[in-house]
Structure formats: C-alpha cells, structure tokens
C-alpha cells in the first residue's frame, strides 16, 4: 500500500522522477506557441491560455499499458482541454519541440489527429476519434536495441516534424503526438506512453474526413508493438494503433526556425488574420529552436529549486489526511491536496508524494 514520504526522503527521490519529457513549444511556419509548462502551470489557479492540453502531472511522467482503457491515455494524466488553438493550413508542417529526450528510451513516435466538431476547447475528450497521420517505429536494428523514431527525434534537436495532410477537411482538430518508450517493454505493462495534445484549426479546401478510434481504444497491453523485447533482434516491429490514414504524407525530419512568438486563438474565432496578428517578433531575426530549449531548461532549473523548498514546508497534518481514502489511485494520479476529494491511496507500485499543499501524486516507488 501507499505511504507518505517525508520531505527529507523526497529530496532524494526527485532526481528519479524528473526526466522523460514533454512538449515545451510548438512551431508552425516560424511561429512558436508555448506548450503546457509542467513546472509552473499546475501550481496556478488560472494558468494562461496555451494551445497545449493541461495536466496536473509535474513529473514528466507517463501512462502505462494498464491504463490504456482509462481517459489518461487520451491526452495524458487527467488532461484538460487547451484554452486556445493555433491556425495551420492543410499541407503545412508542425514542429513539436520536446524537452531533452533520454537516449535510453527507444520506441516509436506516433502522431494522430481527431476532429473536434465546433471547438477543441470544449470538446469531450472521450468522444475524440483519432486517426494516424505519422508513425515511425524501428528504423534500423543492426545495432540492437536499434535505431527508433525517438532516436530520430533526439537527432532532430529533440523535435518532431509532422505534415498536416493536404487533403484534410478544414476544421478544428486535436493533434496528439506520442512517444512510446519501450526500454522496459519486455515485461507486461512495462511500456511508457507519453501522449501530448495540442489544438489546431486546419484551413484549406480538402474534403477528407478520416475515420478514427477513441483514445481509450488505441492500444492494448498485449499489442505486438507494446509488449516487446527490444533487446533481442527484431525481424519486424509492428507500430501499435490504427493503420495510417491514406492521405498521410511521410516527410524527412528537420527542425523549424522560430521567427515570431504566437498568441493562441481563443474563443470560437476563426483563423483568418490571426497569424499576422501574432507576428510580434520577440526572438529576433532567425533564432533556432535551440534557443527555446535553453530557455525552458533554465526555467525548469529555477523552478526545481523552489519546488524543493516548498515540499520541505508541506504540513504534516495534511499528509496524514491524505492516507485515509477510499479507492486506489493509479501511478501519476493525484492522491491528495487541499481541494482533492478523490482517492488518496496509491497502488502497490507507487507512493503518495506531496509536491505542495495543493497537489499530491502517486509516484512510482522504484524507477
Ligand atoms: Cu524515463
């Protein structure tokens, strides 16, 4: 069962749970949109409107195969709709800038879209039907465990470039970019899914309306591409999830230069004119995406310091309250905090850990 970690022990635990990754910013035609800042936004009562979906996950955590039927697999842990969206034309490319991705974490990089109907800011995520527009799995297995999609991502400045299918019907879409780390996947439920969602308004004159599948039906824990030993030679690797949309365009990875900082479109505003409105140059002439990385890492470091300070002062009384609870929370689920009314016990592999008085999370007991 769960136990509460003392602040002293937590300080030594932190390096184990930091790592992995998330999307820090999104670049579309040179315009960079801020992602969901896991180091800041989860602690704010009214985080700013960004095009990325929100999550209370502050540890760069992942979703495990035993959660494939839970809503957490859709757009990450307890994800909430992005408050804004970015305009993009069908046929344009979107660059998804991740934080530094560890080279031990081999696996596929998969990208989906799902039509939102009237608004991705208000759509019920459990109704989204995702179709695949890009998927790169095992590229070369000469040197086991091989070269994978996410190795290509690392080589591409930790970013992933995807083209919006030119034939796609205009409308509002959630883009779901996901890395599946397979370094522990030789054991059942050992894979790690890192789904990230952003909201787009696709313009153009296409007519294609691809059918998709619900997020909770994308994968199964026994899929050939999920429950797999990458440390043995693989003759083939079957990328999990539905088949690729026939209108998907395969492109060569490259990074995108940032020429402007974008402001998300909010409300039900249309895309027309909003791109030019966002061309408020902040990063100068042609700075590269590496600028954005340095910035985000700097802020992560400073937040990290603050973070340790605040956990040290977490009141013991609140921690005691968190133990009493009904059902069991899954790994990376919330398990306490001043306004929390859900489960306060973690499953056997996790420990309820206080990050601050407002948020406790089930953190894996061993990495
Ligand atoms: Cu990891």
Q: How confident is the model at residue 356 (pLDDT cuts 50, 70, 90)?
A: low
Q: How many Å lie between the centroid of ligand 1 and the Cα of residue 364?
A: 12
Domains of the chain: 18-297 (2.70.50.70), 315-364 (no CATH)
Q: How many Å lie between the centroid of ligand 1 and the Cα of residue 19?
A: 6
How many whole angstroms separate alpha carbon 325 and alpha carbon 335?
9
More confident residue, 221 or 7: 221
Per-residue model confidence as pLDDT tens digits over 45-62: 999 999 999 999 998 999
- pLDDT value of residue 253: 97
Instruction: Indicate the range of 15-29, 72-86, 128-142 predicted with least confidence.
Output: 15-29
Per-residue model confidence as pLDDT tens digits over 208-222: 999 999 999 999 999
Q: How many Å lie between the centroid of ligand 1 and the Cα of residue 300?
A: 17
Whose CA is closest to 86, among 159, 33, 29? 33
Per-residue model confidence as pLDDT tens digits over 135-157: 999 999 999 999 999 999 999 99
Q: How confident is the model at residue 110 (pLDDT cuts 50, 70, 90)?
A: very high
Who surrounds ion ligand 1 at CB < 5 A? Answer: 19-20
The answer to whether 333 and 77 are in contact (CB under 8 A) is yes
Which residues does 26 contact at the CB level (< 8 Å), separation at least 6? 32, 33, 35, 51, 52, 86, 94, 95, 96, 97, 198
- pLDDT value of residue 276: 35
Q: How many Å lie between the centroid of ligand 1 and the Cα of residue 59?
A: 10
- pLDDT value of residue 285: 28
More confident residue, 290 or 87: 87
Per-residue model confidence as pLDDT tens digits over 299-309: 222 222 222 22
């Amino acid at each position: 069962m769960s136990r509460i970690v003392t602040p002293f022990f937590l300080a030594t635990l932190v390096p184990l749970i930091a790592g992995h990754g998330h999307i820090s910013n999104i670049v579309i035609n040179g315009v960079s949109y801020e992602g969901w800042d896991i180091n800041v936004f989860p602690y704010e009562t009214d985080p700013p409107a960004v095009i990325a979906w929100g999550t209370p996950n502050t540890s760069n955590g992942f979703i495990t195969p035993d959660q494939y039927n839970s809503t957490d697999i859709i757009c990450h842990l307890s994800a909430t709709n992005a408050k804004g969206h970015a305009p993009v034309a069908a046929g344009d490319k979107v660059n998804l800038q991740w934080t530094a991705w560890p080279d031990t974490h081999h696996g596929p990089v998969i990208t989906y879209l799902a039509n939102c109907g009237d608004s991705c800011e208000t759509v019920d995520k459990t109704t989204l039907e995702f179709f695949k527009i890009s998927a790169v799995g095992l590229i070369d297995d000469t040197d086991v465990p091989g070269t994978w999609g996410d190795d290509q991502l690392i080589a591409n400045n930790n970013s992933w470039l995807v083209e919006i299918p030119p034939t796609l019907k205009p409308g509002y879409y959630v883009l779901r970019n996901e890395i599946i780390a397979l370094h522990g996947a030789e054991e059942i439920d050992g894979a790690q899914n890192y789904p990230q969602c952003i909201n787009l308004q696709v313009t153009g004159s296409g007519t294609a309306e691809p059918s998709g599948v619900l997020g909770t039906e994308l994968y199964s824990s026994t899929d050939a591409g999920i429950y797999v030993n990458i440390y043995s030679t693989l003759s083939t690797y079957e990328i999990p999830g539905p088949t690729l949309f026939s209108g998907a365009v395969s492109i060569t990875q490259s990074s995108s230069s940032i020429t402007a900082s974008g402001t998300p479109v909010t409300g039900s505003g249309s895309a027309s004119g909003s791109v030019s409105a966002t061309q408020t140059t902040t990063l100068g002439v042609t700075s590269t995406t590496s600028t954005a990385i340095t910035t985000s890492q700097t802020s992560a470091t400073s937040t990290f310091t603050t973070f340790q300070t605040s956990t040290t002062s977490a009141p013991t009384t609140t921690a005691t309250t968190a133990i009493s609870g009904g059902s069991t929370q899954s790994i990376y689920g919330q398990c306490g905090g001043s306004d929390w009314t859900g489960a306060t016990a973690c499953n056997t592999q996790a420990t309820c850990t206080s990050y601050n008085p407002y948020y406790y999370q089930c953190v894996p007991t061993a990495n």
